[in-house]
Amino acid sequence: MAVMRATLTASCVLTLLAVAYLSTSLIILRPPRANLGVWFTLAAFLVAQGALTLAALGTRIGAGGAVCATLVASGGIAGVIGAWMVRDTLTSAHFEGYALVLGAMLVAQGVLTVIAFARRLRGRPTVRIA
pLDDT of 125 above 60: no
Domain edges within the chain: 2-121
- Which of 25-29, 32-36, 87-91, 98-102 is the least confident region? 32-36
Task: Identify the CATH assignment for 2-121 out of 1.20.1270, 1.20.950, 1.10.3470, 1.20.120.
Answer: 1.20.120
| Residue 37, pLDDT score | 93
- How much of the chain exceeds pLDDT 90, in percent? 65
> Contacts for 100-108 with beta carbons within 8 Å, 24 or more apart?
101/18, 102/15, 102/18, 102/19, 102/22, 105/11, 105/14, 105/15, 105/18, 106/15, 106/46, 106/78, 106/79, 106/81, 106/82, 107/79, 107/82, 107/83, 108/11, 108/82
Q: How sure is the predictor about 124, in pLDDT bands with cuts at 50, 70 and 90?
A: low
Alpha carbon distance 10, 17 (integer Å): 11
The stretch 51-59 carries a mean pLDDT of 89
Give pTM, 2 decimals.
0.85
pLDDT digit string (tens) for 7-53?
A: 999 999 999 999 999 999 999 999 888 899 999 999 999 999 999 99
pLDDT of 130 above 50: no
Our separate counts of H helices and E strands in the chain read 4, 0
**What mean pLDDT, rounded, does the chain reach?**
88
